[in-house]
Amino acid sequence: MDYQEYLDKATELALKAGEIQLKYFRSRGLKSATKQNEFDVVTEADKASEKCITDGIKEAYPTHGILAEESGAIANQDSEWQWVIDPLDGTTNFNQGLPAFSVSIALKHKGRTVAGVVYAPYLRELFTATAGGGAYMNGNRLECGRNTHLETMVTATGMPYDRAVNPDNNLDNIGRVSTRVRGIRRMGSAAIDLAYTAAGYFDAYWELNLQPWDVAAGSLIVEEAGGRVESIREDRNMSVIAGSSETLRVFRPLIK
Ligand code: IPD
Ligand code: CA
Ligand code: CA
C-alpha cells in the first residue's frame, strides 16, 4: 500500500503546528500549568498545536481513530486506522526557551505504524518515514550509525516524570553508561532522540516509562533508517532502546 498521501497530510499538519509553536516560543507570558506533578508541564502552545493537528485529521479522515496526548482517545476507536499524536514533545524545553522541541505524528494501520513525522520547528528539521519507503530528514535519506566501539559512542536518554518518588528512575543505567561512552545527552524530546538516532547523530538511545505518542513516529523513522527499536522492560509503560543492530549488540547489555 502507498502511504505517501497520509505522510503528506501528517507533514502539512506538523509544519502548521510548528508555526503555531514558534509564535508562542520565548514569548512573554506563555501560559502553562502542571499535570501529574511539578515536573510535568503543559502550555497553551501544546493545546493549540494539538487542536490544529486533530482538526486537520478529522477533516481529512473523518472515520479514522485519534490518540492525542492532551485529549486522549478522541475519535473512532474501532477504526483500523489510528493517528498517534504528541503535539509538542519537549514541553519542558519549550517552556524554558530551549530549542529542542518537536511535533510528532504517526499513523497506525491495524496496529502497525505506516507513516511518521517528527518536526523540530525551531531547528527547521523535518524527519519523515513511511513503512517500506525509507526515512528522510529535510528530503535526505537517513541511515543509522553502525558504531561498535563503546568508547566513541554518543548516546541519549531521559529520566521519567516519577523519578522523585520511584527509585526505578534510570539513574543506575546512566551511571553505568556514563563511565563507558564518549557522551550521554539528555535532549528533552524523545521524538528528537529517536530521529537523531535514525540520522546517526546519536549512536543509541534508551528511555524508560514513555507513552505511545512519544515513540510512535520516531520508532518508524529509526526502523526505516535501518535501525531497531526494542522494548527493554514490560513493567514500565513504553521502555525502549534504539540503534543499529551492530551498535545494540555492544550497547544493549549496559541497560537494565
Ligand atoms: C517528554 C519528552 C522527554 C521525555 C519524557 C516525555 P513531553 O514528553 O519526550 O524527553 O524524557 O518522558 O514525557 O511531556 O515533553 O511531551
Ligand atoms: Ca512527549
Ligand atoms: Ca507532549
What pLDDT was estimated at residue 67?
98
212 lines ligand 1 (CB under 6 A): no
CA of 250 to the centre of ligand 3 (A): 31
Distance CA 213, CA 191 (A): 9
Give the mean model confidence (pLDDT) for residues 3-32.
96
Q: What is the residue with the minimal CA distance to atom 2 of ligand 1?
A: 189
* Whether this model's pTM surpasses 0.95: yes
Q: Which atom of ligand 1 is nearest to the CA of 159?
A: 11
Residue from 92, 121, 95 nearest 186 by CA: 92
Q: What is the residue with the minimal CA distance to atom 11 of ligand 1?
A: 158
155 lines ligand 1 (CB under 6 A): no
What pLDDT was estimated at residue 164?
87
158 lines ligand 1 (CB under 6 A): yes
Beta bridge partners of 241: 206, 230
* pLDDT one-digit tens code per residue, 86-126: 999 999 999 999 999 999 999 999 999 999 999 999 999 99
Residue from 97, 100, 76, 247 nearest 177 by CA: 247
Question: 67: how many CB neighbours lie within 10 A of its CB?
Answer: 20
Q: What is the residue with the minimal CA distance to atom 16 of ligand 1?
A: 89
Q: Which atom of ligand 1 is nearest to the CA of 41?
A: 14
The number of the ligand nearest the C-alpha atom of 212 reads 2
Give the mean model confidence (pLDDT) for residues 130-137.
98
Side chain identity at residue 33, one-letter code: A
What pLDDT was estimated at residue 108?
98
